[in-house]
Chains A and B, each alone.
Chain A
């Protein structure tokens, strides 16, 4: 399906940065797991090794996705959309509840985080919808149609409840419709409606746990030993790391169990404590580089479909990073979003490599017309 000469169009940086981030994550997971695995790495089941294994699988996934013409996906978008909805409904019906939210589907011995898969599927579906309507892109009908496509899965993850992923769906949609070229008036009108309905959302749609989290975020002292504990401890961990950090595996907060889920949602706190501001800036630099390469892919894409997929992926990763780090450093209320490539979690990291594979697939085909 590919012409081998075009392999030179592949962007090695995307793969390298993705792997670098996963390796970075593996180191942090190793340090964060020392309390549970005081003996260090003694087998393949160690979380750090598992993380590397997923990264290695990710490399294969990138290859597969790059080889596969992304435009084939455009031909099966109704199926993809159906799969996404089935996963999200399925998780609500038979999902496993962890940390107060139903997010996992147990399938053939694998535990799949449905929203991680659904995110990417919906981006592809949305990209196809918008790409097919380039001529009538300024019409309200198109705008509302895209809104409906994204609103259904957003509502489903909101019910899990997973406010963070719902926000990422919204952000990806907003960025994609903007890049697709909908009328700015439509976007502004939508944002105004959203702002006006916020009080209604807070009162009627939010669960108690979400309101509590927001109240705790505003004043963690309300519950210093309960829900506020994680926020305060994460903040202390990062702040106490200073400029250069306490050294990998030397963080007192991390190693003495003051952080909860230190290898998942709070892995940035481990980074902040043990590697300090320098480590944090390195991480942000890697992400910036990766996202810029993603935008380059978007701008090089041969068609709107590829451009929109790339845009959606960039925005998805950007907002995951921003929300995850923002929660860790107490800019945002607690919501369970993993740090892309770095947090432990197979579904998340594999789907991210699928996304990188899509980017490569788009690059691989962008200049085929010229040859």
Chain B
């Protein structure tokens, strides 16, 4: 201000001039004040921004420049039980997608970028613009948006080149799952798919990214945490165009661990072939082979099946519709996810309950005249008739099972009031059925397992709103009526009979190996409970089942040179059509060798017969396992 005062001094020495009347000196003072005032306004704002809000702005600047990128780990592989590092059931292959990071697009030249993409990808520019707009509105514009996936190699290379001078455009290289045995293992392995919006919301804190892949079903889903591995992180500095400038920090990813299944691929293949051959025209069929000592599932087949590789690619609506609307439900694993009446294959359980509860002894004889009658309690003129499949004559316990006499098991289950024969009754029967694991999931490592259904009076009253009749107990005793099981449940129950009373959790995973081939976890047998049945009675039932195959109703399950024990079932279901009987499901469940059981097999054929379809199929599986495969292995070295 001394310039100003100096000027005043000079002025005061001079005679006043005309224009001083308008006092320009005062105006210059005002101009000085104006300068100070305007610059003070700027200074106040600068202090506000650079002193009081500096932290906030610094955070924004850091947010601009730093991007934390996920480095996705290589997903673990899956092997069959005969682990060979070079022969996995699934492999990871590269797949290329075109992605856009909306925030990095050049603001003024978006349209030009979209036009470039249109000519490269053959995708309308308007559609791309629309997707980018949606992403900006609904999502984080810094997240990569997949515009088109499954690019071929040439397109991918061209895109890579283009991306270096088109900001916001990038080539994303993902690992895609290639299931080497597709249909054969689809129901066990399941598949991975792109993370859904809901899954992403729930999982983004666990290291999943927006375009991530995760297991959707099967082992891929259940063992997601094992297979996925630990994602790594990379802190990079990017410029305004999103181009990476510098890697500031990185933490490498930990590859996922590999899973070795209990499945034997050759047996799985053979089981599938045999089942396909014997299922005939039926809609679907299932078969499971289990190690009776460990509960390991050696083969699990559900037909029809699907190729799980189609889910690794972008699945068209129509393709999905075809799979979903197919009446044979190819996506459903019929071995675990659907429940059916077990029919006569349930009789060993009824029999064991009767022996344990002293309702019968191995020598209890009952005469089957081909039917049993029950007189209505209130109206003696009404007589209900429950048929046997044949007039089998006098049968002891072994004969009852071996010839699969319905009448024999009507007696054991419901008794015969007029003859003074006390049966088990529904309550005890249900209790035993449950102790064999029916009516609850087995706990196998697969999603979507059905619990099955074990009925009792309370259940019927609650659900059907009817009282329980003795006829219901009769049907229950022969595995008909409301009782429903999954093939795996029935197999697991028979395995417990075969191994001396241990009800096991079915195992699908044998061991987990890390990327260096070291076994990091292995799974032995997991005993769910010990059957509440005397071991002697188990031996009786095993012998009865042996007789059923060797000289009874299940003779079609015989295998030369092998003592197979088993039980067929032909379960009626639905409503009788005109002029024909009820439809039936065919079952066979059994184990071998009889003397020292190793494996157990269940075969289920919808709309099939126990001895026509299921038992011969099981026989072929046993034959393969014990004869052909063994011989092949002997000859191999």
Task: Give residues in A with beta carbon < 8 Å to B.
Answer: 35, 134, 137, 175, 178-179, 181, 225-227, 229, 233, 235-243, 252-253, 256-258, 272-273, 276-277, 280-281, 284, 287-288, 291-293, 295-296, 298-300, 304, 307, 311, 314-315, 318, 321-322, 325-326, 329-331
Name B136's closest neighbour in chain A (CB-CB).
Answer: A225
B27 and A179 within 8 A (CB): yes
Q: B57, A235: Cβ atoms under 8 Å?
A: yes
Within B14-43, the residues touching A (CB, 8 Å) are 18-19, 22, 24-25, 27-28, 30-32, 34-36, 38-39, 41-43
Does B196 touch A at the CB level, under 8 Å? no
A residues less than 8 Å from B27 (CB atoms)? 178-179
Residue on A with the closest CB to B3?
Answer: A296
Instruction: With A225-B105, A295-B4, A295-B32 as known contacts, state yes or no: A236 contacts B60, CB within 8 Å.
Output: yes
- B296 on the interface (CB 8 Å rule)? no
Q: 9 tightest CB-CB pairs across the interface, nearest first?
A: A239-B57, A181-B22, A240-B61, A257-B240, A242-B54, A256-B239, A239-B49, A240-B57, A296-B3
- Interchain CA distance A253-B50 in the complex, whole Å: 15
Residue pairs across A and B with Cβ atoms less than 8 A apart, 29 shown, are A35-B239, A175-B31, A179-B24, A225-B103, A225-B105, A225-B107, A227-B107, A238-B57, A239-B53, A240-B54, A240-B58, A242-B54, A243-B50, A252-B62, A256-B237, A256-B245, A257-B240, A258-B64, A258-B65, A258-B239, A272-B46, A277-B50, A280-B50, A291-B35, A299-B4, A299-B24, A307-B24, A322-B38, A322-B42
B246, chain A: closest CB distance, angstroms: 10
How far is A368 from B60 in the complex, measured between Cα atoms in Å? 59
* Inter-chain contact B60/A242, CB cutoff 8 Å: no
Chain B residues with CB under 8 A of A292 = 1, 3-4, 32, 35
Contact across chains for A300 and B7 when beta carbons are under 8 A apart: yes
CB 8 Å contact bits of B90-119 with A (1 = contact, 0 = none)? 000000000000110101100000000000
Q: B1: which A residues are within 8 A, CB to CB?
A: 292
Chain A residues whose CB sits within 8 angstroms of the CB of B593 once the complex forms: none
Asked if B141 contacts A242 (CB within 8 A), the reply is no
**B39 contacts which chain A residues (CB < 8 A)?**
284, 287-288, 321-322
Q: Are B41 and A240 in contact (CB under 8 A)?
A: no
**B358 within 8 Å of A by Cβ?**
no
A38 shortest CB reach to chain B, Å: 11
Closest residue on chain A to residue B105 by CB atoms? A225
Who on chain B is nearest to A182 by CB? B22
Counting chain A CB atoms within 10 Å of each CB, the highest count among B7, B64, B102, B237 belongs to B64
A225 / chain B contacts, CB cutoff of 8 Å: 102-103, 105, 107, 136, 141
Taking CB atoms, residues of chain B closer than 8 Å to A295 are 3-4, 28, 31-32, 35
Counting CB contacts under 8 A, is B394 at the interface?
Answer: no
Closest Cβ–Cβ distance, residue B425 to chain A (whole Å): 74
Other-chain contact of B54, A239, A288, A298 (Cβ < 8 Å): A239
Cα A281 to Cα B54 with chains together (Å) = 16
Contact of B35 among A235, A257, A318 (CB under 8 A): A318
The answer for the CA separation of A319 and B545 in the assembled complex, in Å, is 104
Q: Is chain A's binding surface mostly helix, strand, loop or mixed? A: helix
User: Chain A residues with Cβ under 8 A from B464's Cβ?
Assistant: none
Find out whether the CB atom of B51 lies under 8 angstroms from the CB atom of A277: yes
Q: Shortest beta-carbon distance, A26 to chain B, in Å?
A: 22
**Chain B residue nearest in CB terms to A181:** B22
Residues of chain B whose beta carbon lies under 8 Å from any beta carbon of chain A: 1, 3-4, 6-7, 10-11, 18-19, 22, 24-25, 27-28, 30-32, 34-36, 38-39, 41-43, 45-47, 49-51, 53-54, 56-58, 60-62, 64-65, 102-103, 105, 107-108, 136, 141, 237-241, 245
By a CB distance below 8 angstroms, the chain A residues around B30 are 178
State whether A299 and B32 are in contact (beta carbons under 8 Å apart), knowing that A178-B27, A329-B46 are contacts in the complex. Answer: no
Partner of A226, one of B35, B60, B107: B107
Contact yes or no, B35 A134, CB < 8 A:
no
Told that A235-B49, A273-B61 touch, could you supply 12 new A-B pairs with CB distance under 8 A?
A181-B24, A225-B102, A252-B64, A256-B240, A258-B64, A277-B51, A280-B50, A296-B3, A315-B31, A318-B34, A322-B38, A322-B42
Assembled-state Cα–Cα distance A258/B240 (Å)? 5
Choice from B25, B32, B47, B61 contacting A236 with Cβ under 8 Å = B61
Q: Which of B46, B56, B61 contacts A252 (CB under 8 A)? A: B61
> Bound complex: CA of A229 vs CA of B7, how far in Å?
47
Chain A residue nearest to B36 (CB atoms) is A288
Contact of A326 among B35, B42, B47, B239 (CB under 8 A): B42
The minimal Cβ–Cβ distance linking B194 to chain A, given in whole angstroms, is 26
Cβ–Cβ < 8 Å partners of B10 in chain A: 300
- Chain B residues contacting A315 (CB-CB under 8 Å) are 31
B8 to chain A, nearest CB (A): 9
Residues of A within 8 A of B46 (CB): 238, 272, 277, 280-281, 329
Task: List, in ascending order, chain B residues with CB within 8 A of A237's CB.
Answer: 61
* Contact residue among A137, A175, A325 (Cβ-Cβ distance under 8 Å from B42): A325
Chain A residues near B57 (CB, 8 Å)? 235-236, 238-240
**Taking the nearest CB of chain A, how far is it from the CB of B166, in angstroms?**
15
Q: Give the distance in Å from the alpha carbon of A318 to the alpha carbon of B47 in the complex.
A: 20
Inter-chain contact A284/B238, CB cutoff 8 Å: no
CB pair A243 B31 closer than 8 Å: no
In the assembled complex, which residues on chain B have CB atoms less than 8 Å from the CB atom of A134?
18-19
Query: A86 CB to closest chain B CB, in angstroms?
Result: 32
Partner of B51, one of A35, A236, A243, A311: A243
Residues of B within 8 A of A281 (CB): 43, 46
> Could you tell me the distance in whole angstroms from the C-beta of B153 to the nearest C-beta in chain A?
32
A167→B552 CA distance, assembly (Å):
109
Measured between beta carbons, the chain B residues less than 8 angstroms from A240 are: 54, 57-58, 60-61
| Contact assessment for A329 and B45 in the assembled complex, using a CB-CB cutoff below 8 Å | yes
Q: How far is the CA of A252 from the CA of B25 in the complex (A)?
A: 47
Chain A neighbourhood of B6, CB < 8 A = 296
Q: Which residues of A contact B51 (CB under 8 A)?
A: 242-243, 277
Q: How far is the CA of A225 from the CA of B105 in the complex (A)?
A: 9
Chain A residues with Cβ under 8 A from B47's Cβ?
277
Residues of B within 8 A of A178 (CB): 27, 30
Given the interface pairs A235-B57, A253-B61, A293-B3, the reply to whether A229 lies near B107 with Cβ below 8 Å is yes
B45 contacts across to A, CB distance below 8 A: 329-331
CB distance from B165 to the nearest CB of A (A): 14
A284 contacts B31, C-beta separation under 8 Å: no
Chain A residue, CB-CB nearest to B25:
A299
Q: Determine how close the nearest CB of chain B comes to the CB of A331; give it in whole angstroms.
A: 6
Contact partners of B24 in chain A: CB under 8 A: 179, 181, 299, 307
Q: How far is the CB of A326 from chain B (nearest CB, A)?
A: 7
Given contacts A226-B107, A257-B241, A281-B43, contact A241 B50 (CB under 8 A): yes
Q: Contacts A229-B107, A239-B53: A284 and B43 contacting too (C-beta < 8 A)?
A: yes
How close is B20's CB to chain A, nearest CB, in angstroms? 10
User: A296 touching B241 by the CB < 8 A rule?
Assistant: no
Which residues of A have CB within 8 Å of B35?
288, 291-292, 295, 314, 318
Let me know if A242 and B107 touch, CB within 8 A. no
Q: Cβ of B64: which chain A residues have Cβ within 8 Å of it?
A: 233, 236, 252-253, 256, 258
State how many angstroms separate the Cβ of A323 from the closest Cβ of chain B: 10
Rounded to whole angstroms, the CA-CA distance of A179 and B27 in the bound complex is 6
Cβ contacts under 8 Å, A276 to chain B = 50
Closest residue on chain B to residue A367 by CB atoms: B10
Whether B61 lies near A296 (C-beta < 8 A) is: no
In the complex, what residues of B have CB within 8 A of residue A311's CB?
31
From known contacts A134-B19, A252-B61, infer whether A284 and B42 are also in contact, taking CB-CB under 8 Å: yes
Interface centre among B31, B60, B108, B141, by most chain A C-beta atoms within 10 angstroms, is: B31
CA distance A229 to B56 in the complex (A): 17
Which B residues lie within 8 Å of A233 (CB)?
A: 64, 240
Does A252 contact B65, Cβ atoms closer than 8 Å? yes
A322 / chain B contacts, CB cutoff of 8 Å: 38-39, 41-42
The CA-CA distance from A284 to B50 in the complex, in Å, is 15
Closest residue on chain A to residue B18 by CB atoms:
A134
A253-B64, A292-B32, A299-B7 are known contacts. Are A331 and B41 too (CB-CB below 8 A)? yes
Residues from chain A with Cβ under 8 Å of B141 in the complex? 225
